[in-house]
């Protein structure tokens, strides 16, 4: 038997959870939020913050471990996965070897089981069983995904299982893995094994990886994006890598939030994959981001690696001493204007976000469909000094489809689908730079959120499309010459630099980086997309 909401104690016994998991000392299944809090506190897994959030520390892993993720190479995946450094391969034998030790590790140990859905559209959702050894990870999964109704719980059958054990480690010299941390994905068995890391984002991204692999077969484009919808029923999607503003810009009080990170675009419209948000909260502003700020102070929220005041236990969101990648995980309905369905009509507007630390990209520019595909394949942003070990100056980052670590298929598969949907549903596309203006990181300043919000709102309501456009010389981007509530000089990146020649030299440098990166995609795209980046190609 398993623990239920009606029981105060778990039942021990020979409980089978599938994939070889049996003979556990206790199974706690689909516990409520208060119950999970009680277990997590009793187990010593974390602390309570003022306001009621649960705070967990993840030790040495404060972010994902992309070099420790492997996909089983077998008859199913041999010709469908884009193999390489991002999608590294392991054999079935290695997977089975690690799996057998995983099963042995869980013998006579407790397990927390959370059954959830991923995908708000019932036509395309998957049922995921998340098995963890710590209660707070179960709370994370409960917050992050779509919670079944009581009736759905009664007939729940998992189509994907994720088993996580932070305190179980690989043996690299025996397993042939890179380290004692591992994220092993077996698409054929529909099973993911996660060990040696407490970072909860590995659970979330493992579910996303499954959807990214399976949905294109149903003509659904999986997207690493946030989405919201206006009063006219038309949605907008925001592509972007971590730290570029997806969560911040989609949490707009004037629009209904569909979701903050992962969505699908089908022939019926856009749908959220998740039932919660996983927001980066370092330096979160109560004034600029009140909805997310309020969520960090609520019972039920999980705060990851957030520092608490020793006396008051108030979360200090400006303290990055543990990591710059501090996170808050909370149910979507903690955001006041969140959608109850997670569904919306086809997007009228597509916004691609970048945080350009070199300070040369315009704060907003209109894209043709071909330019949109070019920038989608490029997936550009930049990391700045202090955010990662060893980063001492701005570094260009190109993550194709704005989510390369989670895209199992070749980038051209996703880009082709995006181009077809932009054409079919007549979406307008914009590139928005939330990074630096007036110079690179260390010289210029970060674009004001108020300006970015004003530009995004003007793009969404159609007023920005009425502005005259001028083409800048380095990237061929079309820059609006006017935007309400934004100074005209802010719209022109060169005008914000003290030395225009220094701007031109830096812009040419970044354009060359685009050129070098895009060479890998040229064999897979037509001349129209190649020519869309002709300025960047020099």
Catalytic choice (39, 125, 246, 428) = 246
Is residue 163 within 8 A of residue 138, CB to CB? The reply is no
Is 247 a catalytic site residue?
yes
Q: Would you say 117 and 127 are in contact if contact means Cβ atoms under 8 Å apart?
A: yes
Contact 182, 98 (CB under 8 A): yes
Q: Measure the CA–CA gap between 35 and 139, rounded to whole angstroms.
A: 10
Cβ count within 10 A of residue 513: 18
The active-site residue out of 261, 323, 381, 474 is 261
User: What tokens were used for 432?
Assistant: 């928005």
209 among known catalytic residues: no
64 is catalytic: yes
Residues 211 and 407: their CA atoms lie apart, in Å, by 9
**Active-site annotation holder among 3, 99, 204, 205:** 205
Answer yes or no: 179 catalytic. no
Burial class of residue 100, CB neighbours in 10 A (0-12, 13-18, 19+): exposed
Choose the catalytic residue: 62, 114, 226, 247.
247
375 catalytic per annotation = no
Catalytic one of 224, 410, 421, 513? 224
Contacts of 462 (CB under 8 A, 6+ apart): none
What span, in angstroms and rounded, lies between the C-alpha atoms of 40 and 55? 10
Q: What is the CA radius of gyration of the chain?
A: 23
Catalytically annotated residue among 114, 206, 242, 496: 242
Binning the chain into helix, strand and coil, the percentages to the nearest 5 are: 30, 25, 45
Distance, CA of 402 to CA of 208 (rounded, Å):
13
- Pairing outcome for strands 428-433 and 126-132: unpaired
Tell me, yes or no, if 327 is annotated catalytic: yes
Active-site residue (options: 3, 29, 61, 64): 64
d(C-alpha 484, C-alpha 364), whole Å? 13
> How far lies 223's CA from each of 5, 6, 195, in Å?
35, 39, 26
Active site amino acids: 64, 205, 224, 242, 246-247, 261, 327
């Amino acid at each position: 038997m398993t623990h239920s909401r009606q029981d105060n104690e778990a039942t021990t016994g020979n409980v089978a959870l599938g994939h070889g998991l049996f003979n556990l000392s206790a199974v706690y299944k689909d516990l409520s939020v208060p119950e999970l809090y009680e277990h997590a506190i009793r187990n010593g897994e974390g602390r309570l913050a003022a306001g009621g959030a649960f705070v967990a520390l993840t030790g040495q892993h404060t972010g994902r471990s992309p070099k420790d993720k492997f996909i089983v190479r077998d008859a199913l995946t041999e010709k469908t996965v884009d193999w390489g450094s991002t999608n590294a391969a392991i054999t079935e034998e290695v997977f089975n070897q690690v799996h057998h030790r995983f099963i042995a590790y869980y013998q006579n140990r407790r397990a927390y089981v959370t059954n959830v859905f991923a995908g708000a559209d019932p036509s395309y959702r998957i049922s995921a069983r998340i098995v963890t050894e710590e209660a707070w990870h179960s709370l994370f999964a409960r917050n992050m995904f779509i919670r079944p109704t009581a009736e759905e719980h009664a007939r729940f059958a998992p189509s994907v299982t994720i088993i996580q054990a932070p305190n179980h480690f690989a043996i690299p010299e025996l397993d042939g893995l890179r380290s004692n941390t591992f994220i092993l994905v077996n698409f054929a068995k529909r099973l993911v094994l996660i060990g040696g890391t407490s970072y909860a984002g590995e659970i979330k991204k493992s579910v996303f990886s499954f959807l990214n692999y399976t949905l294109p077969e149903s003509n659904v484009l999986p997207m690493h994006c946030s989405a919201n919808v206006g009063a006219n029923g038309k949605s907008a999607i925001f592509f972007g890598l971590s730290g570029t503003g997806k969560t911040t810009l989609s949490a707009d009080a004037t629009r209904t939030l569909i979701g903050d990170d992962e969505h699908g675009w089908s022939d019926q419209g856009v749908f959220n994959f998740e039932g919660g948000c996983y927001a980066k909260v370092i330096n979160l502003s109560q004034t600029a981001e009140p909805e997310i700020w309020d969520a960090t102070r609520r019972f039920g929220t999980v705060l990851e690696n957030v520092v608490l005041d020793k006396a008051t236990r108030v979360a200090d969101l400006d303290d990055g001493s543990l990591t710059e990648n501090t996170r808050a995980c909370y149910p979507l309905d903690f955001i006041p204007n969140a959608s109850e369905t997670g569904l919306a009509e086809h997007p009228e507007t597509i916004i691609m976000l970048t945080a350009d630390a070199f300070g040369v990209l315009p704060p907003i520019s209109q894209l043709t469909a071909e330019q949109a595909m070019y920038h989608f394949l490029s997936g550009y942003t930049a990391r700045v000094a202090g955010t990662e070990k060893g980063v001492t100056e701005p570094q260009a980052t190109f993550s194709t489809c704005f989510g390369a670590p989670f895209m199992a298929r070749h980038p051209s598969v996703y880009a082709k689908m995006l181009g077809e949907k932009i054409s079919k549903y007549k979406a307008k596309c914009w590139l928005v730079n939330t990074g630096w203006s007036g110079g690179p990181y260390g010289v210029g300043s970060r674009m004001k959120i108020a300006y970015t919000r004003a530009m995004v709102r003007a793009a969404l309501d159609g007023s920005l499309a009425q502005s005259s456009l001028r083409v800048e010389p380095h990237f061929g981007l079309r820059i609006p010459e006017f935007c309400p509530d934004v100074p005209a000089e802010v719209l022109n990146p060169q005008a914000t630099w003290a030395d225009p020649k220094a701007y031109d030299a830096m812009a040419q440098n970044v354009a060359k980086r685009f050129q070098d990166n895009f060479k890998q995609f040229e064999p897979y795209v037509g001349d129209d997309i190649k020519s869309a980046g002709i300025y960047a190609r020099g």
